Structure 1
């Protein structure tokens, strides 16, 4: 009896279909960790299908109840396209049956072989693999038998073609763009030519502006902070700006000698020429010769600025109002 057991095992293995016993492993799967189900059947329905039409590839696997089969869809399907898959399991007293259906479509004419399927198998001993080779399916053309004579190639699959459709969308888009441009141009012209309400602030008198500049310089207290040179630069600009506007010449661009020469050629009633000459000389010494200046000297120079305004500024004569009535002449 013990001698008959190996012979019976060989007979059982030989009774299995050859495509089950010699199922190839998918690329990348390990040679070990494989499992064989108790029974496998596969069918293609229909066996003959037109190119591009779907067909069903159904696999029925009988296996122990403690095993679970899950299909792993192939990454490379060649001339086939996988549309969807279904899975059903039915448990019996001693075994279970798992039915897996894969809907595909083929895009190659003639007898073509469905890609091999790989299954992940969960077993009590750990995860394993099972591979099933594909079955053949006959793929026929969608053209009728007399396609060559009737020119029926129009009924076959065609690449996408451009079909002209009459539409006013482009015309309306162009008109809308032109209308928007005209509206923007009209708004720009209106904004550019709109009445501008400019508030004209009358300029303050020369003496007021000059005193404010002297007050601001005094508030900074530059000599006390060791900036006597900056103080004399600022004070000289204020005094020269006042003289130039008061007597009508460009005083800021004149040298010291040109400044005094210009003032001597102009009528300058009340101008303290000697004091102005001393101020100009002292300013030049501090600004350009790096002479030292005490806070008292700076205070006296600032006082000269105020005194210069008091002695030389003459308020302009009042202007008659524009709407004043003209004198009546008899």
Structure 2
């Protein structure tokens, strides 16, 4: 591959060395035509004082026979001047001699004495054929747009400067710092909460006591308070009713606290509890409702009997009866292990 690339380079390099130089800009079409002089020619600049970068008008007025037509052929390079626009005013029809006016709007971008180049014109004539006319060059003085005392005051024209970096105010760094500060604050708060949660005293959770133990403790507490002796018979029956209803509901699996008296008895009959003192419960429920809702009076003896019924109900319904074993299992258990 290296040999092929070297051979290709050796073949192409002579052709590149013998390549013709770029051709110069083509000359105007009227360059080879004979010259002709118009009847009259005037050139003037408006305004008379040309300022740097300010547009001005270069007016050319050509007086010529009516059978001639003048067309401007602008050169590609006007030197220190830039063409902004151009206009041609043709002569009036039937007027002799004819007058053609050209107006070039230019601007200068250098100071001092500058020269407008020669301007060629293509002249078409019905009698003599095509001819050529060249307007002579013109020298102009281009002045600065600054006042005369600008240099004394320290002001002067400056050349075009290369691109420079310009500092632009940005809040990006500030927002990043605020975000970092916020993250630190959130982290500190989270750490404090974690430490507080980790160092909090652990609450000892005691296991729930059996139902019969809890119920007996509640009855003992009510007995020790001796509410009937304080004249709080109604409070006594409310407390005792809640203890008994709560026990029955948890013991037989229904919401006894929300049942009416009749609903309570119906629910217990559906459960068909064995050795259940149904008559005693009916008397307690009736007496309790009269005291709680009908404001009936109850003696201390009746209160003691009601409390004694609570203990009796607990003794007769607890512990729960163990369901009987299947017949095969009971027979096997009764026979015991066989001794060989």
TM-score by length of 2: 0.40
TM-score for the superposition, normalised by structure 1:
0.41
